[in-house]
Chains A and B, each alone.
Chain A
Amino acid sequence: MSGTDGYIQTPPDAGGKRVDATEAINNAGILVERQRVEIPDEVQITSEWLVRMLVEQRMQNLLLAEGFGLRDNIDGLRDELSNIAGLDLTVPAVRELLTEDRIYYVSSNGSDSNDGLTVNSAFLTVQAAVNAVSALDVNGFDVTIMNGIATTTTTVMLKSYVGQTADFRGVMILGDRTTPANIAISVNGDGVLADAVQGNWFLDGMKFSCTGLGGEGCVHAINGSTVYVGKVDFGACSGSHMYAVNGATILTTEDYAITAAALRHAFAEFGGALRLLGFSGSTPYTPMTVTMSGVQVYSSFIRSTGLSKIESFAVTYTGGTITGQRYLVQLNSVIDTYGGGVNYFPGDVAGATATGGQYG
């Protein structure tokens, strides 16, 4: 038998001819329907290679056309043809397909070898829960990671997952919305990092602090990732509270607090975007308040550079004694306050535009 060049040598009982492989399969009259495989009785499958071609081609077509939704049918097809030809046609495992919303639990009493699906089988680390999510096809359902760890001291690396079907849906890491400081992400480095992540992530009910040279962002999104920030508390940060870079987007969804300063509160560069507004996923947007406290010193509260955009609408920054430059926009970037005026952002030094930057 030979099929590597797209042709097959048919079995002796079929004439022993060299024919086009695809044509041979089609001529065999083997029908693959959505629900089951029908093989007419008159067809005698005597070629192992023919069976393999059938499986590979038809299963691939099904996978491409239907995603993973026909797993049961694909399994049936594989089993049926395996029985006929005596072949091992096992296909690699595919993602678990959710059929309802899911909750993962993270607890100081947990273990990362648990499944995380109940309070009594919780994970020990947020990262383990994130890893579990990354193995899913969420199939349009929401996943919530209930973070019960008082202090997480290593960067939470968000990961891609499959199956997000709409904006403002996805996976949430949820701490304590009443007192976000009870659930701290306090890291010598980035707090939460989303690097080239596919699928929305929501962060809610946590306090972020990040220090050290690696602490570029309490929430650091890069390379096309999208992260939503809810009711959180931004603490001290050696970089930016929120840092979006290389086509990534960070959006705020509701009131939050800033209890300690960063070099910058929000920083977008190299095509990054920050949307500081009450983004609820629908119209109208909700006016929101950012409550600040204590003395906070910033290099620039908001900075946009390198073809980036930061927009803010109907946000009231209140409280605290805030010093430093209100904003800095450079290198053909935009800070759009929808007409909020030069004093829209807090600070005691006037904002500045340079090298094509625009503020409005």
Chain B
Amino acid sequence: MPSRDVSDMYWAVAGSTTQVYSSKVGDFVPVADATYQAWLAKGNMTQKIDTEANLGEVLAPYLLRPTAANVLDGYKDKQATDITTAVIFKILFNHENRLRAIERNLGLNGSPADLTPGQAKAAVKALM
């Protein structure tokens, strides 16, 4: 069987033949990397994926945080998406905007505009 240990797998992104992403390292390594070659020699196979962002999305549920910037962006985006689509978050989101409506009515705190879903997700993503 191909390795199903996501914490020690390799991906070729966008058809790259020069480097692969290592979930163990958290970053790309050259295909000549000795550890990678040893992993292949055990009969494992490299998975393919179309974009770095989608790779980050794959890694997010396993909390295998990448260091490669574009992969990390996809990782954080997935985590933020999962959080902001939860019902509890939507309730909090509505409460936030009710507070902002009160602030506007009372002229408090600069009368902030309603928070948009995109802004809410970006705020959560920044926390990841």
Which residues of A are interface residues toward B (Cβ below 8 A)?
277, 283-285, 287, 313-314, 316, 336-344, 360
Residues of A within 8 A of B19 (CB): none
Do B57 and A338 touch across chains, with their CB atoms under 8 A apart? no
Give Cα distance in the complex from A341 to B74, angstroms: 11
Cα(A343)–Cα(B124), bound, Å:
25
A287 CA to B10 CA, complexed, in Å:
14
Complex CA–CA separation, A145 to B19 (angstroms): 44
- 19 CB contacts below 8 A, A to B, read A277-B2, A283-B1, A284-B45, A285-B45, A287-B45, A313-B47, A338-B4, A338-B9, A338-B47, A339-B11, A339-B47, A339-B49, A341-B54, A341-B55, A341-B57, A342-B57, A343-B50, A343-B54, A344-B50
Residues in chain A near residue B44, CB distance under 8 A: 284
Bound-state Cα–Cα, A314 to B10, Å: 11
Q: Does B58 contact A (CB under 8 A)?
A: yes
Interface residues of B in 39-61 (CB under 8 A from A): 40, 43-51, 54-55, 57-59, 61
User: Is B102 in the interface zone, CB < 8 Å from A?
Assistant: no
Q: Does B6 contact A (CB under 8 A)?
A: yes
Are A285's CB and B2's CB within 8 A? yes
User: Is B45 within 8 A of A341, CB to CB?
Assistant: no
A314 with B50, Cβ < 8 A, contacts A283-B43, A360-B61 known: no
Can you name the residue of chain B whose Cβ is closest to the Cβ of A286?
B45
- In the complex, what residue of chain A is closest to B6 when comparing beta carbons? A339
Known A283-B43, A343-B50; further 18 A-B contacts with Cβ < 8 A: A284-B45, A287-B45, A313-B2, A313-B45, A336-B4, A337-B47, A338-B2, A338-B4, A339-B49, A339-B59, A340-B49, A341-B49, A341-B51, A341-B55, A341-B57, A342-B54, A344-B49, A344-B50
Q: Is the CB of A341 within 8 A of B61?
A: no
A313 to B83, CA, bound (A): 29
Complex Cα distance, B78 from A360, in Å, reads 13
| Min distance, Cβ A280 to any Cβ of chain B, angstroms | 11
Contact B47–A314 (Cβ < 8 Å): yes
Q: Is the interface of A mostly helix, strand, loop or mixed?
A: loop
A33 to chain B, nearest CB (A): 45
Contact count band on B: 20 to 34
Q: Which residues of A contact B6 (CB under 8 A)?
A: 339
Q: Is the CB of B54 within 8 A of A314?
A: no
- Asked if A284 contacts B9 (CB within 8 A), the reply is no
Q: How far is the CB of A167 from chain B (nearest CB, A)?
A: 12
Asked if A314 and B57 make an inter-chain contact with CB atoms under 8 angstroms apart, the answer reads: no
Closest 6 CB pairs of A and B: A283-B43, A341-B54, A284-B43, A341-B49, A339-B58, A313-B2
Q: CB-CB < 8 A to A316: which residues of B? A: 48
A248 → B minimal CB distance (Å): 20
Residues from chain A with a CB closer than 8 A to the CB of B11 are 339
Of A283, A340, A342, A343, the contact of B47 (CB 8 Å cutoff): A340
CA distance A98 to B43 in the complex (A): 34
Chain B residues near A343 (CB-CB < 8 A): 50-51, 54
Chain A: which residue is nearest B53 at the CB level?
A: A341
Q: Nearest Cβ distance between residue B75 and chain A, in whole angstroms?
A: 12
Q: Which residues of B contact A339 (CB under 8 A)?
A: 6, 9, 11, 47, 49, 55, 58-59
Contacts of A342 in B (CB 8 A): 54, 57
- Closest Cβ of chain B: how far from A198's Cβ, in Å? 24
What are the interface flags for B27-47 relative to A under an 8 Å C-beta threshold, 1 for contact and 0 otherwise? 000000000000010011111
A316 to B15, alpha carbons, bound, how many Å? 10
B70 shortest CB reach to chain A, Å: 13
The minimal Cβ–Cβ distance linking A55 to chain B, given in whole angstroms, is 49
Complex contacts, A277 vs chain B, CB 8 Å:
2
Complex: how many Å from CA A277 to CA B44? 13
- Tell me the complex Cα distance, A313–B48, Å: 8
Chain B, residue nearest A312 (CB)? B47
> Contacting B45 at CB < 8 Å: which of A314, A336, A344, A360?
A314
B61 partner residues in chain A, CB cutoff 8 A: 360
Q: Which residues of chain B are within 8 angstroms of A344 by Cβ–Cβ distance?
A: 49-50
Task: Find chain A residues with CB under 8 A from B54 CB.
Answer: 341-343
B45–A340 contact, CB under 8 A?
A: no
Chain B residues with CB under 8 Å of A360's CB are 58, 61
Bound state CA distance, A314 and B44, in angstroms? 11
| A57 to B: closest C-beta gap in Å | 46
Which residue of B40, B47, B57, B58 has the most chain A CB atoms within 10 A of its CB atom?
A: B47
Smallest beta-carbon distance A192→chain B, Å: 26
Using CB atoms, name the residue of chain A closest to B74. Answer: A341
A314 touches B9 (CB 8 A): no
